[in-house]
């Protein structure tokens, strides 16, 4: 059986086409009601499955035109919509002459069962004749059509407002997360800087300690090397002082030597004591 699938959403249209083809049907497609009418005038089909909310010409208008035309009036028309799902939408759609109103989403097996049931009745010629409302005043049709459209637009506006609120909440949460991340990064950078300064200071202290340790070892080595010569010099100088008379002009110089040697010996001893403690 050949089916005309109508939907302005290309992804939905391809999914519907694949589903019907896998069930053994031939499928032709259209992206809106106006395009669908052109296809119907060009080739015969056994069923029209149409979305409702579409540009150029929506599903309601398409169904009305199909049921007005003698050439397409008996072709089963099925609404398949996820947008118009209110009970009044369904009532309005069926009053236009549609054979069935199927809300999206529906499990594939159930959907195909409904479609094949309608096609079977159509092929047997036992499909109930639609109560076509051709005699209905166009003003009545337009009134109900506009009510359905306004109702849907109002719902869209409410949904849009909710979406705006949710998006604002998401943006606020994202902004808060961004601010918290920036604060965390700043705190982390500050800690890194502080830690870097601490490590540099400890490194400097370690280098200074190593330098002082090296100087201490060097001073200790020098002190040990100086101690023996100072002992000898001091010993001879003291002996010479003891032997020199008070009238000897060199006595005072010898005493100076003894005094300076004593100072140096004490200094050397202190240096050795300090290094021995370390």
Strand-by-strand arrangement of the 26-30 sheet? 26-30, 2-6, 47-50, 77-81, 100-103
pTM for this predicted structure = 0.57
Q: What pLDDT digit, counting tens, does each position of 123-152 carry? A: 988 887 665 554 455 666 666 666 766 666
Stretches in the chain below the pLDDT threshold 70: 129-146, 148-156, 159, 219, 275-278
E-strand ranges in 9-138 read 26-30, 47-50, 77-81, 100-103
Helix (H, G, I), strand (E, B) or coil at 102: strand
3-state secondary structure of 257: helix
Contacts of 90 (CB under 8 A, 6+ apart): 84, 101
Report pLDDT digits (tens) over 34-46: 999 999 999 999 9
Residue 96, judged by CB atoms within 10 A of its CB (0-12, 13-18, 19+), counts as buried
From CA 30, how far away is CA 37, in angstroms rounded? Answer: 9
Per-residue confidence (pLDDT) for residue 149, from 0 to 100: 66
3-class DSSP state for residue 26? Answer: strand
d(CA 185, CA 201): 24
Q: CB within 8 A of 5, min separation 6: which ones?
A: 13, 16, 17, 20, 27, 28, 29, 30, 49, 50
Residue 256, number of CB atoms within 10 A of its CB = 12
- For residues 22-57, b (16+ Cβ closer than 10 Å) or e, as one string? eeebebbbbbbbbbbbeebeeeebbbbbbbbbbeeb
Whether 36 and 4 have beta carbons less than 8 Å apart is answered as: yes
- Phi, psi for residue 8 in degrees, rounded to 5: -80, -15
Angstrom CA distances, 12 to 1, 3, 46, 80, 256, stand at 21, 15, 21, 11, 114
Query: Looking at residue 260, what DSSP letter applies?
Result: H
82 vs 53: CA distance, rounded Å: 9
Would you state the pLDDT for residue 135? 44
How many residues are recorded in the chain?
278
């Amino acid at each position: 059986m050949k089916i005309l699938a109508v939907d302005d959403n290309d992804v939905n249209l391809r999914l519907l086409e694949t589903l019907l083809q896998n069930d053994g049907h031939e499928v032709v497609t259209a992206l809106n009601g106006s395009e669908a009418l052109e296809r119907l005038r060009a080739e015969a089909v056994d069923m029209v499955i149409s979305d409702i909310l579409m540009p150029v010409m929506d599903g309601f208008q398409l169904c009305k035109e199909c049921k007005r035309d003698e050439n397409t009036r008996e072709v089963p028309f099925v609404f398949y919509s996820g947008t118009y799902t209110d009970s009044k939408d369904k009532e309005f759609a069926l009053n236009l002459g549609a054979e069935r109103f199927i809300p999206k989403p529906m499990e594939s097996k159930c959907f195909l069962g409904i479609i094949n049931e309608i096609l079977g009745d159509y092929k047997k010629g036992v499909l109930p004749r639609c109560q076509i409302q051709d005699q209905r005043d166009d003003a009545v049709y337009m009134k109900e059509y506009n009510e359905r459209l306004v109702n849907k637009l109002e719902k869209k506006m409410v949904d849009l407002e909710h979406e705006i609120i949710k998006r604002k909440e998401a943006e606020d949460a994202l902004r808060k997360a961004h601010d918290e991340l920036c604060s965390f990064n700043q705190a982390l950078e500050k800690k890194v800087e502080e830690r870097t300064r601490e490590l540099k200071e400890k490194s400097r202290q370690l280098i200074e300690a190593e330098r002082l340790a090296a100087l201490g070892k060097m001073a200790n080595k020098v002190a040990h090397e100086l101690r023996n010569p100072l002992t000898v010099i001091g010993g001879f100088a003291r002996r010479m002082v003891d032997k020199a008379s008070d009238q000897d002009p060199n006595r005072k110089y010898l005493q100076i030597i003894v005094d300076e040697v004593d100072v140096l010996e004490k200094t050397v001893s202190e240096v050795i004591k300090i290094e021995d403690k370390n």
